[in-house]
Structure 1
Amino acid sequence: MTTTAPAVNGRDIALAHYAGRALLEGVLARHGATFHQSVTLRAVVVAGESIGRDELVRDVTGSLKTDESVVRGVVEELVAAKLLEQDPAEASRTRLTDAGRELHETTAAEAAEISVRLYAGIPAEDLAIAGRVLALVTGRANAELAGT
């Protein structure tokens, strides 16, 4: 007797996202950070630890699908908390502080440990298929949001 896995739908994807996000938010809360702050710090890290403020806002707004004013508020929170600062080499750029780098590294390491547990035992080929499907769905949703 063979069993067939049920087809995946948006609800399934959302439930997986929110379950994982709840675990991540637990990590972040222990360190006094929010999900939005974590996404913003990561965007700066990916950019090489310094990024134009407007570029940062566009990047995070696109990632979180939220209003630009929300992201500008998050950037200001991070500056006030001394996790981000104006780049002295170029005033229009924002960079990580040592404390911001440490917070990102610590929370990313803890999140990676959770990911190892969540993905343990899932065959690499299944993860590759899931990655391709999610990239396709994300691309289609982004295209619809952009009106194309």
Structure 2
Amino acid sequence: MTTTAPAADSRALALAHYAARGVLEQVLARHGVTFQQQVALRAAVTADAPQTPDDLVAQVRSSLKSDTTGIRATIDELLAARLLVADGPHLCATDAGHELLAAVGAETVPYTARIWGGIPADDLAAAGRVLALVTERANAELVTPTG
């Protein structure tokens, strides 16, 4: 008897996303930050140039597809926690912000190894191509809904 792998679909993608996100959120909770705070902080840290608050909101909105009001509140939380600081018109991660991301990154390494380890490179490449195409198509639907 041969078993075939289930076809990838929106439900399978969502289940994988939320399972992996759940692991990350457990780590983040131990550090007292939310998923959205981590995404915003990472966006500030990894940007090629200093970000204005509007730049950062746009970048996080592009990633999470969430409302700008909530993202602005998240940025305010990061400022209040001194993980971000205003430097003129720009927002910069503080040393504490950099240290937090480094700690979270280090803590997630063993989880990542267990979750992704042993998956053949060809399978990861195929999944990467499919996920990139799904992302592209979904983003296009968000720009011009068809119905």
TM-score (norm: length of structure 1): 0.93
Partner of 1:67: 67
Can you list the C-alpha shifts for 1:1-36, whole angstroms capped at 9, x where unaligned? Answer: 543212111101100111111110000000000000
In 2, distance between residues paired with 1:140 and 1:33?
A: 31
Q: CA deviation at 1:48?
A: 4.4
Partner of 1:18: 18
Instruction: Tell whether the 8 Å contact from 1:50 to 1:96 is kept in structure 2 after alignment.
Output: no
**Superposition map of 1:1-148 within 5 A:** 2-48=2-48, 50-87=50-87, 91-147=88-144
Instruction: Tell whether the 8 Å contact from 1:49 to 1:96 is kept in structure 2 after alignment.
Output: no
In 2, distance between residues paired with 1:48 and 1:29?
A: 28
In 1, distance between residues paired with 2:79 and 2:125?
A: 38
Instruction: Tell whether the 8 Å contact from 1:49 to 1:95 is kept in structure 2 after alignment.
Output: no
RMSD of the alignment, in Å? Answer: 1.4
Gaps of 5+ in 1: none
Bigger shift: 57-66 or 107-116?
A: 107-116
**Which amino acid counterpart does residue 13 of structure 2 have in structure 1?**
I
* Runs of 4 or more above 4 Å deviation: none
The alignment of Structure 1 onto Structure 2 pairs a total of residues equal to: 145
TM-score (norm: length of structure 2): 0.93
Cα gap change, 1:145 to 1:23, in 2 (>3 Å): same
Can you list the C-alpha shifts for 1:79-124, whole angstroms capped at 9, x where unaligned? Answer: 000000012xxx1110000101100111122223311110111001
In 1, distance between residues paired with 2:81 and 2:3?
A: 52
